[in-house]
Amino acid sequence: MKSPNLSQDKIKIPKHLAVIMDGNGRWAKKRFLPRKFGHRAGAENLRQFIRWCADFSIKYVTVYAFSTENWQRPDDEVQSLMKLIVEFFGKYNRELEEEGVRLQFLGKIEDLPEKSLATVKRAEEESKNRNRITLNIALSYGSRQEIIRATKAFTADVISGNREIEELNQEVFSSYLYTQGLPDPDLLIRTGGEQRISNFLLWQLSYCEFYFSDILWPDFKKNDLKEALMEFSDRERRFGGV
């Protein structure tokens, strides 16, 4: 593997980076701590990670924070995660504002508890005019659910006369997804050693490059990001061509 000390101008920067932040629970287990401490460490690392992405001039970052399947976890873990959402934006909102981070939330956020929902709505509204970097946080998100939701919405528009069935193409369908208006990810990073996408951005990742790291998310640092970007730089993206 190349040394991560190459100058930044030699690195090809993805416009849109997607991240599956895996390994919080195992990070805590290795330290004989409850899982909630791993999630807290992961949230702290996300704060640093966004700064690193901005340093590399990445314009869009989409992170998988909480899936629709995660609601099936033990109640105390879910409650601690919902509480962490409120704490995170209470603690870092000023820093996010100073660094020009626009926030968007993808998923069935209406399923969040009242306080968590109010927090994310307020954070999104207050950040709408920032433009240095856009952080999309997938909360209560599942890609299969997203695709079904988009299909139903398009069908409803056809039935109501607002759309013609012949209008349906990739661009039109994409406009019904949570990610409407965003470019598709160029690079997906998954930490924690697993090599699957876990119902994340199934439509949007069609031509995305994948990078899998064995490093647990709370331990994933700027040099690790740089290594991922360097490997991405060496890949030739053909988009189905030759």
pLDDT of residue 4: 46
pLDDT digits (tens, 9 = 90+) for 120-170: 999 999 999 999 999 999 999 999 999 999 999 999 999 999 999 999 999
- Among 9, 22, 76, 157, the active-site one is 22
Residues 6+ apart with CB under 8 A from 98: none
pLDDT of residue 11: 84
pLDDT digits (tens, 9 = 90+) for 29-68: 999 999 999 999 999 999 999 999 999 999 999 999 999 9
pLDDT of residue 5: 47
Confidence of residue 10 (pLDDT cuts 50, 70, 90): confident
Q: Distance of CA 234 to CAs 5, 106, 116, 150, 238, Å? A: 15, 31, 41, 35, 13
Q: Residue 9 catalytic?
A: no
Enumerate the β-bridge partners of residue 101: 133
Domains of the chain: 16-141+184-234 (3.40.1180.10), 143-177 (no CATH)
pTM reported for the whole predicted model: 0.93
- What does DSSP say about strands 209-212 and 187-190: parallel, antiparallel, or unpaired? parallel
pLDDT of residue 9: 56
- Among 5, 24, 70, 162, the active-site one is 70
Q: Residue 70 catalytic?
A: yes
pLDDT of residue 8: 52
Averaged pLDDT score across all residues of the chain: 94
Q: Quote the CA–CA distance of 192 and 190 in Å, as a whole number.
A: 7
Q: Quote the CA–CA distance of 202 and 212 in Å, as a whole number.
A: 17
Q: Quote the CA–CA distance of 234 and 212 in Å, as a whole number.
A: 15
pLDDT digits (tens, 9 = 90+) for 176-233: 999 999 999 999 999 999 999 999 999 999 999 999 999 999 999 999 999 999 999 9
